[in-house]
Amino acid sequence: MPNDTAPTGAADLALIEAHIRDVPDFPHEGILFKDITPLLNHREALAAAVAGLAAPYRGIGVDHVVGLEARGFIFGAPVAMELGAGFVPARKAGKLPAKTIDQAYDLEYGTATVEIHADAITPGGRVLIVDDVLATGGTGRAAVELVRKAGGTVVGFSVLMELSALQGREKLPDVEPHTLLSV
């Protein structure tokens, strides 16, 4: 259970939100893409985002932070540093060089697979999963199952923003997602 003693303040959330750009019709017509590159280029907004993603998990003993490819890497590594934890990249299939464990998940038109190194999580390790967006929940669910396959315990799922209309939270009934923004 997250420790909510250090919530991100309204000013920090406003700063973060002000640095997320809406890009209509990307990557396909009818999609409103939430572009985080302006946030990444603004040191105060980036620092506020990293602090906000880490805040509820301070002091609860996080051993590893799993960041989901690719934008989860951007936030996951500094969150791991904030929490004094190791960082584990969860990559698309075939991208890691050593022995891996994997978890498949459904996409709108097919399936995909996410992998971590087989030795990345210590047995019983307490793991926080970090990503930029919670959309349909498929990737998040796969990450939870992957951590469990590796012998870890998921202590949280922290994301920059949740696309609440897509109801991804419903695929995570056993993990309470912490989101900075809901759009």
Q: In 3-state terms, what secondary structure has residue 16? A: helix
What's the CA gap between 6 and 74, in Å, rounded?
Answer: 22
Beta bridge partners of 112: 105
Catalytic residues, which ones? Answer: 71, 108
Note the Cα 15 to chain centre separation in Å.
Answer: 20
User: Are residues 16 and 39 in contact, defined by beta-carbon separation less than 8 angstroms?
Assistant: yes
Name the E strands within 62-109: 64-68, 86-92, 100-107
| Residue 113 buriedness (CB in 10 A; 0-12 / 13-18 / 19+) | middle
